[in-house]
Structure 1
Amino acid sequence: MNVIVDENFWQVFPEAQISILVVKGLNNEVDESKDPYFQKLLNQASKKALDYLPDDSFTQNEVIQEWRQAFTKFKTKKGARSSIEAMLKRVSQGREFRPINPLVDLYNSISLSYALPCGGEDLNTIQGDLHLGKAKGGEAFFPLGAEEDSPALPEEIIYYDQAGVVYRNLNWREAQRTMLTEETKDAILVIEAINSAQKERALQAAQALQELIQDYFGVTGQVTHLSVNQPTLTV
């Protein structure tokens, strides 16, 4: 399988970096005895996230502004915001993050700690190659809990495979068919950055995530940072 960032993505975000972490041979089952570990990890990450919210006006904080400006550069579903904005909004409201499953908890803690959009998918549910690029329009998309298709809009930036959309609006919302579950054995995790400051944080974030996965699962993942000069990866 290949991960391919299409040319039309780089035309919109030429300075972007998509960090990919591939991990295989996992046991992602929920063990409730480990909940205190994950709860502590998420609580600590939420405290770190406050460093990215120095302005009392939530929307004026730098991270929020950067991603809102980014979302003006392509077609989006009405009301769509970057996944990191949604997470930082919860932090600003004092809302606690609760454990979901090990892989999701680990990448959520990294997303909060470094104020970057992170996501993860079950590698074995992806059909064909995984692309990041502009939608033609009409690509099938069934988000978690949906009862009907919510297809992509023309020119929307999506992750997609042969079966349809994996993520809409970068990694704003994911498809149910590829989501990480307790049955996930192999996974592909992504960290998105669109400028030099974010790219530097993403290098640190990818290493930190790799170390967390090594410590918890005993599995060493492969990290690759895709850019306009290296837009593809073979998994």
Structure 2
Amino acid sequence: MNFIVAPEVFALLPEVCFGVVVVKGVDNSSARQETEELLAASVRLASEKFQTGKVKEAAEILPYREAFQTLGINPNKYMSSIEAMSSRIAKQKDFPRISPLVDLVNAVSLKHLVPMGAHDLAAADGDIQVRLSRQGDSFIPFGSDTAEILADGELIYSAGSIVKTRRWIWRQSEQGCVTGATRDVFFPIDGFYGQNEQRVIAARDELAEWLERLFAVPVTVGMVDKTNPSLAI
């Protein structure tokens, strides 16, 4: 299985880059105090940062809003995952605990203020791609069993015709979400050279370190960009 970013993505966003973490054989079935504590610490950090000022005006958030505008996506209506999480915290809303793996990736995402995904590899039919949508692609939102049919030309994460994430880094699908039974996971971290690639790399490496330390399983990392558009996962 490979992670592949299509050429048209780099035509639209030339400096986009993707940190990659893959873990296999992990046990996500039982609660872990360590991941809950890491998430709580990151929520506190984000809450302190966004006590003043608007989340959408933060330097860490602006590159994603600008990219959404380039893609024809309204960033006020469809926020990137990191802006949505940060906005929830800024409004003092409770932040959910979901499972050790999801809590961990959310903790690292909030600490470094970069969007990070988590996809169950067992649910992926073929390669995972970042590409533009085409006829036949479908998306099932969280908590639903009804598929949405996409128009052509939307930037997505996909596996075959199954859309894993709509509007690039807006919302993940019910299909392939990480559960207590998940064993093998692909974590992408999205960013831009010349803007925040160092935070992407730092988030990638910290996630890998915590996975090895807490779950005692082999972890692989990588980077995908316009000079290296695919990676075996």
TM-score (norm: length of structure 1): 0.91
Within 2, Cα distance between the matches of 1:117 and 1:61? Answer: 14
Within 2, Cα distance between the matches of 1:170 and 1:106? Answer: 21
Paired position in structure 1 for 2:46: 49
Paired position in structure 2 for 1:72: 69
Paired position in structure 1 for 2:15: 15
Deviates more, 1:214-223 or 1:64-73: 64-73
Paired position in structure 2 for 1:146: 144
Paired position in structure 1 for 2:89: 91
Equivalences, count = 232
Go from structure 1 to structure 2 and tell me whether the alpha carbon gap of 1:209 and 1:199 turns closer, same or farther (over 3 Å shift): same
Q: Which amino acid aligns with 1:87?
A: M
Paired position in structure 1 for 2:194: 196
Partner of 1:19, secondary structure, is strand
Equivalent residues of 2:125, 2:159 under 8 A apart: yes
Matched, 1:119 2:117: yes
TM-score (norm: length of structure 2): 0.92
Within 1, Cα distance between the matches of 2:142 and 2:113? Answer: 24
Equivalent residues of 1:49, 1:114 under 8 A apart: no
Tell me by how many angstroms 1:157 deviates: 0.5
Within 2, Cα distance between the matches of 1:15 and 1:4? Answer: 16
**Structure 2 unmatched ranges of 5 or more:** none
Partner of 1:9, secondary structure, is helix
**Structure 1 unmatched ranges of 5 or more:** none
> Structure 1 runs of 4+ off > 3 angstroms?
50-55, 75-78
Q: Which amino acid aligns with 2:64?
A: W
Equivalent residues of 1:121, 1:180 under 8 A apart: yes
Paired position in structure 2 for 1:231: 229
Within 1, Cα distance between the matches of 2:227 and 2:175? Answer: 31
Equivalent residues of 2:5, 2:131 under 8 A apart: yes
Deviates more, 1:203-212 or 1:143-152: 143-152
Within 1, Cα distance between the matches of 2:54 and 2:183? Answer: 42
Equivalent residues of 1:52, 1:63 under 8 A apart: no
